[in-house]
Structure 1
Amino acid sequence: MILSVNHVTTYRYDAPMRFAVQSLRLFPSRFDGQRAVRWDVSVEGGLRGGSFRDGAGDKVEGWSLRGPVEEVRVLVSGEIETTDTAGVLRGHREVVNPLAYLRETDATWIDDALRDLAETASAGTTDNLDRAHRLSHAVSEAIAYVPGVTHARTTAAEALEQGEGVCQDHTHALIACARAVGMPARYVSGYLHATTDGTPHEAAHAWAEIWVGNIGWIGFDAANVCCADSNYIRLGSGLDAHEAAPIRGIAQGEGREEMEVSVALGQVQQ
């Protein structure tokens, strides 16, 4: 299918800032499951800087704004043709060794409860693909999807302890569980058009990719208990949400920052 995207992120400051710098990871990944028909990323009033493709295959582009800066608007629009690859990241070019994604971060630190969940879910199977599916189901059952109960710095262990969270928490928990049983896993940021039952989602989303040696990277969405399909648009990846963040930046000044995000996805044609 072909999906249209209109994504606006606005940062407002209650006092003018001297300058602002943005690092954007807002470009569709290149692999067999998606192709950019058209895609445009810009920062209103900003100066486009250099861009590069990192070792994980993700494009990163820099922007800067000279002060006084009272508002920063990051605009994304385009159309992506997607194909269902059953979650397999086929045809994606990267040079980072999958074993690098066994490293823990603060957000994905493995406590006893996460380790127990992973080992219980994995018991009785030696097949890594089966193990990955079991882990995704176990995380979905252990953490109910409840918006607003966690925050940006909630860890996988904290989300599991309270038994509630959002897609970021499901993803961190699944990553931690996979790493607990020796399977490399990473955080993926992107967009989701609709869930498996057809319910519109139309928002930024996050899911995990788990390395299954004889297949490669496979996307698992524990929040929706499925693999990434043609409803998903993949942007970038990292060890956790912080590393995979679509927008990272700094602004110098005394102002306090507020952020507003608007995302709209639509199906252009089947």
Structure 2
Amino acid sequence: MILTVDHVTCYRYNRPARALVQSHRLMPSNCAGQRVLNWTVTVTDGIAGGTFRDGAGDWIQGWTVPGPVSEVTVAVRGAVETSDQAGVLRGHRELTPPDCYLRSTPVTRADAALTALAAEAGGAGEALDRAHRLADLVADAIAYEPGVTEAHTTAAEALKLGRGVCQDHAHALIAVARAAGLPARYVSGYLFTEAGRDHEAAHAWAEVWVHGLGWVGFDAANRCCPDDRYIRLGSGLDAADAAPIRGIARGHGIERLEVQVAVQAVQQ
């Protein structure tokens, strides 16, 4: 499948910022499941900085916008050829050892309820089977409902609420997988959805390390493993660590953020 992406992020400030510095994780890597056909990232009045591949195999690009600046637009446009790999990440270059992803963060820390949920999957059997059971348990425990959680909602809070979005499903699955002794990480990317589906084009899921197989993706929000509808951007310990755009503005103004994402399938 060939997917096109049109992703526009606009930052507005009620008082001009003196300068803006950003770090982008907006370039998909080529691997067995995806091949970048064309891809551009533009930043209004931005000066491109260094580009490098981090230990997790993701491309990082730095940008600086000199001020005073009242509005900045980051536009991502491109096309990627995708194929279904049954969720298995193959051919992806990275150096970070999987055990590094056993470390919890404040939003993925397992409380008593998450630890109990992890125990329901059992400690016996193949790691892949346990990972599937954990993903099913998270999907059953947290119903997909936009607008009920926030960017800083923790996995424990989402589980207690019983509702959330893809970020909450990913955080909860990461928490229970780590509690079960399985390295897990957060993945940001894009999802092509058919008309009438609730899920947004900017998407997130989790990857669990299975010894002998590698990283396997699980989208608990959609009760599936990533297939050719998905474009993988980058990964991290949690949503903040894997954020496509991170940055800081120098000044005392209030920032307002607007995001529009469209993913379409085109005929090959």
State the TM-score, normalized to the length of structure 2: 0.97
Residue 182 and residue 198 in structure 1: after superposition, are their counterparts in 2 closer, same or farther (change >3 A)?
Answer: farther
Supply the distance in 2 between the matched residues of 1:73 and 1:223 (Cα, whole angstroms): 29
Superimposed CA distance per residue, residues 187-218 of structure 1 (whole angstroms, 9 cap, x where no aligned partner): 000000027x9948551000000000010000
Residue 198 and residue 126 in structure 1: after superposition, are their counterparts in 2 closer, same or farther (change >3 A)?
Answer: farther
Which residue of the partner structure matches residue 114 of structure 2? 114
Supply the distance in 1 between the matched residues of 2:250 and 2:48 (Cα, whole angstroms): 18
Deviation at 1:155, TM superposition (A): 0.3
Superimposed CA distance per residue, residues 81-130 of structure 1 (whole angstroms, 9 cap, x where no aligned partner): 0000000000001000000000000010010100100111236x411111
Which amino acid letter does the alignment assign opposite residue 53 of structure 1?
A: R
Which amino acid letter does the alignment assign opposite residue 207 of structure 2?
A: E
For residue 15 of structure 2, give the secondary structure of its aligned residue in structure 1: strand
Which amino acid letter does the alignment assign opposite residue 174 of structure 2?
A: I
Which residue of the partner structure matches residue 4 of structure 2? 4
Supply the distance in 2 between the matched residues of 1:34 and 1:107 (Cα, whole angstroms): 29
Which amino acid letter does the alignment assign opposite residue 88 of structure 2?
A: V
Question: Are residues 1:149 and 2:148 paired?
Answer: yes
Which amino acid letter does the alignment assign opposite residue 74 of structure 1?
A: V
Which amino acid letter does the alignment assign opposite residue 119 of structure 2?
A: E
Deviation at 1:72, TM superposition (A): 1.1
Counterpart pick for 2:232 among 231, 234, 242: 234
CA contact (8 A) 1:191 1:205 kept: yes
Which amino acid letter does the alignment assign opposite residue 239 of structure 1?
A: L
Which residue of the partner structure matches residue 33 of structure 1? 33
Counterpart pick for 2:250 among 239, 249, 252: 252
Deviation at 1:171, TM superposition (A): 0.2
CA contact (8 A) 1:193 1:201 kept: no
For residue 27 of structure 2, give the secondary structure of its aligned residue in structure 1: coil
Supply the distance in 2 between the matched residues of 1:216 and 1:21 (Cα, whole angstroms): 35
Counterpart pick for 1:225 among 223, 226, 232: 223
Which residue of the partner structure matches residue 73 of structure 2? 73
% of aligned pairs identical? 63
Deviation at 1:29, TM superposition (A): 2.0
Supply the distance in 1 between the matched residues of 2:162 and 2:55 (Cα, whole angstroms): 35
CA contact (8 A) 2:193 2:201 kept: no
Which amino acid letter does the alignment assign opposite residue 93 of structure 1?
A: R
Contiguous gaps of at least 5 residues in structure 2: none
Residue 86 and residue 160 in structure 1: after superposition, are their counterparts in 2 closer, same or farther (change >3 A)?
Answer: same
State the TM-score, normalized to the length of structure 1: 0.97
Which amino acid letter does the alignment assign opposite residue 66 of structure 2?
A: R
Which residue of the partner structure matches residue 185 of structure 2? 186
Supply the distance in 2 between the matched residues of 1:62 and 1:122 (Cα, whole angstroms): 44
Residue 161 and residue 74 in structure 1: after superposition, are their counterparts in 2 closer, same or farther (change >3 A)?
Answer: same
Q: Where does structure 1 differ by over 6 angstroms across 4 or more consecutive aligned residues?
A: none
Residue 200 and residue 38 in structure 1: after superposition, are their counterparts in 2 closer, same or farther (change >3 A)?
Answer: farther
